[in-house]
Structure 1
Amino acid sequence: MSLLITEECIACDACIDECPNEAIEADDPIYMIDPDKCTECIEEGGEPSCVPACPVDCIIPDPDNVENAKELKLKAKHINKED
């Protein structure tokens, strides 16, 4: 499942540098997570790096992009292969 940034986002930049796949982009007025790049950091140990970095807890699972662990691992493998 990809993650989603809610309207509570304060555009503080805390999450951007935490994302190993560069899936988070600055947008106006809130930041956006590209679901095609978000792997929930499954390749980094399975805990999303951006969630604890967010000071307002506005990063949540995206109900429109549900993926299981196998799908996330496959996406991570594909993303890292392109680098």
Structure 2
Amino acid sequence: MTRQLRVDWPACQARGLCHELLPEIVDLDEWGYPIVTGPVTDDLRGDAATAVRACPRLALRVVG
């Protein structure tokens, strides 16, 4: 099963914490909003869960 990181765009305020915690699959656009560049692989599951919990706007979730 492939897991993906999803962003709740209305909730996101471009703080960039997700990129700091998960730079392997989260880049930032020119305004600081996250761009998810790949799936949440097995070796990134823990880091993805940390990023979801740490998001100050609760704008992230892992699906799949």
Shorter chain as denominator, the TM-score bin is 0.5 to 0.7
Q: Which has the higher contact order (CA 8 A, sep 6+)?
A: 2
Percent identical across equivalent pairs? 19
What's the counterpart of residue 62 of structure 2? 61
- Structure 1 segments, 4+ long, off by >6 Å, are none
Note if contact 1:4-1:32 (Cα within 8 Å) is conserved in structure 2. no
CA drift of 1:34 comes to 1.7
Note if contact 1:51-1:59 (Cα within 8 Å) is conserved in structure 2. yes
CA drift of 1:53 comes to 1.8
Alignment length (residue pairs)? 59
Counterpart secondary structure, 2:56: coil
Matches within 5 A, 1:29-40: 30-36=33-39, 38-39=40-41
- Mark the runs of 5 or more structure 1 residues left unpaired by the alignment: 67-83
Change in Cα spacing, 1:6 to 1:54, as seen in structure 2 (3 Å) is same
Q: Deviations over 1:17-73 (max 9, x none)?
A: 111x5211112663121234x32723x4x76221122000010234xxx3xxxxxxx
TM-score, reference length from structure 2: 0.66
> Relative to total residues, which structure has the larger strand share, 1 or 2?
2
Note if contact 1:3-1:60 (Cα within 8 Å) is conserved in structure 2. yes
What's the counterpart of residue 4 of structure 2? 2
TM-score, reference length from structure 1: 0.54
Note if contact 2:5-2:61 (Cα within 8 Å) is conserved in structure 1. yes
Which AA in structure 1 matches 2:53?
P
